[in-house]
Amino acid sequence: MSIWGKLIGGATGLALGGPIGAILGIAAGHGVDKVSNYSTSNNKKFSKIEKEKIFASSVIALAAKLSKVDGHISKEEILAFKKAFEFSREDEKTISEIFNASKQNTEDYKQVAEQFYLVFKNDKSILVELLNALFTVAYADGHLHKNENEMLSDISKIFNLNSSEFESIKNIHQDNDYLHNKSLSKYYKILGVAENLSMIEINKKYKQLIKEYHPDRLQGLGLPEDFIDLANKKLMKINEAYNFIKNKKKESDGS
């Protein structure tokens, strides 16, 4: 069963308060009010299946709010969401209900992100890949709206990611921006390094990124296949940036 099927089939078994609890209530078919009074604790330990439910519901909710934050939802953003997170026809109705309910209020995205962070704060790779997936949706119409950028920046800060990590993911997706020109500076930002660093230091940073965000490691964390595909694409961009910088430095050194 896919992660989406697990979300729909077993959401009733997880008592969780807050905005994510409300989303799970929609998945379970008993609406928002019934789950809004559930108690929750920041120290609660969740099982792997419970984390999958929280992960999947948060992805849908944040993608919906991001799509609406620029004032309207484009056809491209809907298609990007469906393409990035493939789900079966039998799950589509409930996922659409969660998406449509979540987009009604874009102002509570911080609360959703904060609750998500409390659950996954010890799994940085999952936080990074959720942000990476949201950038995929944001850039679906060809460019990043200022409200989308602000929302993604806020989520990044809530996830305790630093500015270079945010800029790295942003620049990976700017290839889809028809207003953006490729530059050497862009590749440095993808690696999250300063342009005056030596190749030895850049090598260290590159190896660190590969170790932290390699798709094989993400599979071990239980991420769905859809996110592994996005992670593979991100890894390709990191490799492209590293090789481009390495070749440019060789040219400048005359070797």
pLDDT tens readout for residues 150-190: 999 999 999 999 999 999 889 888 765 443 445 788 888 88
Residue 43: is its pLDDT beyond 70?
A: no
Indicate the pTM of the whole model: 0.76
Question: Rounded distance, CA 57 to CA 200, Å?
Answer: 42
Among candidates 85, 95, 49, 54, which has minimal Cα distance to 226?
85
Q: Which two tokens stand for residue 216?
A: 């094989």
Class of residue 39 by CB neighbours under 10 A (exposed 0-12, middle 13-18, buried 19+)? exposed
First to last CA, the chain: 53
- Could you tell me the pLDDT band of residue 28, with boundaries at 50, 70 and 90? low
Average pLDDT, the chain: 77
Cα radius of gyration (the chain): 19
The structure tokens listed for 114 are 């904060």
* Both structure tokens of 190: 């993808």
Q: Can you tell me the distance from the alpha carbon of 83 to that of 62, in angstroms, rounded to the nearest whole number?
A: 16
Is pLDDT above 50 for 214? yes
Model pLDDT, residue 34 = 40
Go through 127-140 and write b for each residue having 16 or more CB atoms within 10 A of its CB, e for each that does not: bbbbbbbbbbbbbb
Query: Higher-confidence residue: 80 or 62?
Result: 62
